[in-house]
Amino acid sequence: MTIQNIGVVGCGLMGSGIAQVAVQSGYDVIVAEAAQEFLDRGLQRIEASWSTMLAKGKLSEAEVAASRARLHTTLNLADFADRDIVVEAIIENKEEKIKLFRTLDTILPANALLVSNTSSLPITELAAVTRRPSQVAGLHFFNPVPVMKLVEIVRALETSDATVATLKDLAASLDKTAIVAKDTAGFVVNFLLIPYLLSAIRMYEQGTATKEDIDAAMRLGTGYPMGPFTLLDYVGLDTTLYAAEAIYDENRDPMYQPPVLLRRMVTAGLLGRKSGRGFYDYAK
Ligand code: CAA
């Protein structure tokens, strides 16, 4: 199957990035949200990214204008009736995702693919509520989507070879490198990344070093582009907590048990850059 048009549900950090990359790659995209204000915020994020890319000469005015013309928005999922594939990028809540997959399954054409950008929830559970489990998979992008080159394709129990092949072609057309992972919580990246981030929080709780020094250690000692606390703030503390909980729920390995400080910070609304404060203050 060849993908010609794409639907994205959710215009948050990830959904807006996925929609942006897809229109830049020539696809007609409809992005859906529950309320206009969420669409407006997502579109502002895309425009800001295009301004940066224009200023750096990575895109021309004509390319931005053509991309903008391919980007459509909706508050009504019924508009997805002609989509070849829909990428779900809503909140990391299993019940919400299951409800959405059930609805999308009744709207999409019979041959359309239905994929989730979840970072750690089981794809097989989403596939199971549809009549098209062989056409359901994970398609996990990384933040910032316009920059990060990786996509994880997650093969659920019943995902067909044809679906995986189509998703590999799609990833290549978006200028991403795809890897294929089994449907186990965390897939490849978060299975490795989450214990690293949680260990940094535990180390900070124990007073081993300041968060600034832990960040500097990993940047300068190992060449990571961001230290763990800068990355936690960048990814979002809530997102990290959901991912840790999802993996811990599945394997009960203490490495994935969220530290108390992470829970408390999320409860207090200290979510990182998106809320203005996390481990660092972004108010300025
Ligand atoms: N749109 C377009 N371009 C962007 C951009 C955006 N949203 N964000 C950054 N860029 C560009 C910048 O313009 C810059 O371009 P040049 O190289 O041409 O100057 C380039 O990316 C680098 O950005 P900066 O100079 O601003 O800063 P930096 O060198 O620190 O890079 C970064 C920023 C790319 C985010 C880098 O710090 C990085 O790679 N950090 C780690 C990010 C990471 O690990 N992401 C994965 C998180 S895990 C996840 O997402 C999955 C999950 O499930 C939780």
Q: Ligand 1: distance of its center to the CA of 162 in Å? A: 32
Check residue 272 and report its DSSP letter.
Answer: B
Start-to-end CA span in the chain (Å): 49
Instruction: Name the pLDDT band for 59 (thresholds 50, 70, 90).
Output: very high
Largest CA distance in the chain: 56
Instruction: Name the pLDDT band for 277 (thresholds 50, 70, 90).
Output: very high
Pocket of ligand 1 from Cβ distances under 6 Å: 49, 52-53, 56, 119, 142-144, 146-148, 190, 225-226, 231, 235, 239, 243
Judge contact between 155 and 164, C-beta under 8 A.
yes
Q: Which ligand 1 atom sits nearest the alpha carbon of residue 145? A: 7
Two structure tokens written together for 154: 């997650």
Task: Say whether pLDDT at 133 is over 80.
Answer: yes
Judge contact between 113 and 135, C-beta under 8 A.
yes
Instruction: Name the pLDDT band for 1 (thresholds 50, 70, 90).
Output: confident
- Mean pLDDT over 144-151 rounds to 97
Contacting residues for 36 by C-beta, under 8 A, at least 6 apart: 75
- Which of 147, 189, 194 is the pocket-test mutation for ligand 1 (most atoms within 8 Å of CB)? 147
Output the pLDDT for position 120. 82
| Chain centre distance of CA 83 | 20
Output the pLDDT for position 256. 98
Q: Which of these, 160, 98, 109, lies nearest to 134 by C-alpha position?
A: 160
Q: Ligand 1: distance of its center to the CA of 65 in Å? A: 23
- Give the percent of the chain with pLDDT over 90: 97
CATH fold, domain 5-182, is Rossmann fold (3.40.50)
- Mean pLDDT over 279-284 rounds to 93
- Mean pLDDT over 67-90 rounds to 98
Please provide the size of the chain in residues: 284
Q: Is 47 a catalytic residue?
A: no
Angstrom distance (rounded) from CA 84 to CA 114? 9
Does the domain made of 191-275 have the CATH classification 3.30.1120.130? no
Q: Is 72 a catalytic residue?
A: no
Instruction: Name the pLDDT band for 36 (thresholds 50, 70, 90).
Output: very high
Q: Is 190 a catalytic residue?
A: yes
Q: Ligand 1: distance of its center to the CA of 77 in Å? A: 31
Task: Say whether pLDDT at 284 is over 90.
Answer: no
- Mean pLDDT over 176-192 rounds to 97
- Mean pLDDT over 205-214 rounds to 98
Instruction: Name the pLDDT band for 246 (thresholds 50, 70, 90).
Output: very high
- Mean pLDDT over 193-199 rounds to 98
Task: Say whether pLDDT at 236 is over 90.
Answer: yes
Q: Is 251 a catalytic residue?
A: no
Pairing mode of beta strands 150-155, 136-140: antiparallel
Enumerate the domain spans of the chain: 5-182, 191-275
- Mean pLDDT over 24-39 rounds to 98
Angstrom distance (rounded) from CA 281 to CA 266? 15
Output the pLDDT for position 228. 98
Task: Say whether pLDDT at 134 is over 80.
Answer: yes
Say what the pTM is.
Answer: 0.96
- Mean pLDDT over 143-171 rounds to 98
Two structure tokens written together for 47: 């425009």
> Is the bond preceding 144 in cis, omega lying within 30 degrees of 0?
yes
Q: Which ligand 1 atom sits nearest the alpha carbon of residue 143? A: 50
